[in-house]
Amino acid sequence: MPARERRSDVSAPVASIRGSDATDALPRVAADFDARLATLSWSGVVEHVFAGAAIVRSDRTEPRLALLAPGRPLLPWSVAARGPKPALGTRVALDSGRLRIGLEPDILLAGKGTILFVEHCGPAKEPPRLPPLALPAATLSVLDGLVSPARTFDERLSLHLAQGLSRLCTLLFCGEASPALLRPAVEALAGLGPGSTPSGDDALVGLAASARVLAARAGVDALGRALLAVEGNATTETSREMLEQAAQGFFPAPLVRLAEALRQGSDEAAWAGIVGGCARLGSRSGADMLAGALFPLVAGPRPAGGDRA
């Protein structure tokens, strides 16, 4: 397989991340945000601008803040708001529910925001049964990675993802899940593939989300500690923060809904919305997250308790 690739962007910059002009007469209000931001005091500077999002680096040691266009799936430490695209180097401050981006009028965070935390409730007595799903091609490529030919770069990437996920699932569901045993398997996936959040990291986040429903507490805790132990130079800074959030139980909104669907059961229409939400998370990121989340049920060693869906 080619050497692991990394780049600082995932798509070409666009003209704006706005849903309306900054000259709107009505007060600027944002109701879609990570609930933890409601009472946070935070400041930083815009370091990346992508299609539909800007990433703000903290002045201190807090995670980066993502400024999203309205309608984009919510991420940990993110807020979706209307307004003009901030330029690189723009100062951003958040204090007591008020978000200030450069010299633009303040944005008021309305309501309590969205809880992006997934409680541990595993292991499931019976593995959840999935309805027929129309999955992204990249997701299917990983789920079929152990049996499909690997000729192109994407096919070889899918094979390596499938092999890594299979090892992790064996340890989580069929073996002794200790941090010492999980760490080499996690490190084999960390930083694997291109992008600001490499495919291996995305798959790890997806698995961490579904494991909170499917795996025992000891396994979830061991996986979390292994994610926190990923070295800083093993992947990108943005991706490392994503892994840290997942280790603490915080996930993108589509994965939160996926975990809830695994816990309570959902119909085909609800699952279609979950899959669609994941597909909107970057060019391939959401597809790889979905592959990681579904791998224990579809392709990997199955969780104890019954037949695989």
Which residues, at least 6 apart from 91, have a Cβ–Cβ distance to it below 8 Å?
Answer: 43, 44, 45, 102
pLDDT of residue 5: 44
Q: Before 123, cis peptide (omega within 30)?
A: yes
Return the pLDDT at 300. 65
* Mean pLDDT on 23-49: 86
What sign does the CA torsion over 121, 127, 130, 136 have? positive
Q: What are phi and psi of 22, to 5 degrees?
A: -70, -10
pLDDT bucket at 125, cuts 50 / 70 / 90: confident
Give the residue among 58, 54, 52 at the shortest CA–CA distance from 70: 52
Angle between helices 253-264 and 268-279 (to 10 degrees): 160
Kindly tell me the burial class for residue 60, based on how many C-beta atoms sit within 10 Å of its own C-beta (0-12, 13-18, 19 or more): exposed
Q: Is the pLDDT of residue 289 over 80?
A: yes
Question: Tokens representing 76?
Answer: 């940990």
29-109 adopts what CATH topology? OB fold (Dihydrolipoamide Acetyltransferase, E2P) (2.40.50)
pLDDT digits (tens, 9 = 90+) for 136-192: 999 999 999 887 788 899 999 999 999 999 999 999 988 678 999 999 999 999 999
Residues of the chain above pLDDT 90, percent: 73
Structure tokens at 205: 């986040």
**Domain ranges for the chain:** 29-109, 137-298
Higher pLDDT, 34 or 2: 34
User: Model's pTM, two decimal places?
Assistant: 0.87
Query: If pLDDT is split at 50, 70 and 90, which confidence band does 22 have?
Result: very low
For a pLDDT cut of 70, what percent of the chain falls above it? 88
Least confident of 45-59, 196-210, 275-289, 292-306: 292-306
Minimum mean pLDDT range among 8-22, 60-74, 285-299: 8-22
The stretches of the chain forming alpha helices (DSSP H) are 137-143, 153-174, 179-189, 199-214, 217-228, 237-247, 253-264, 268-279, 285-298
Q: What is the pLDDT of residue 11?
A: 38
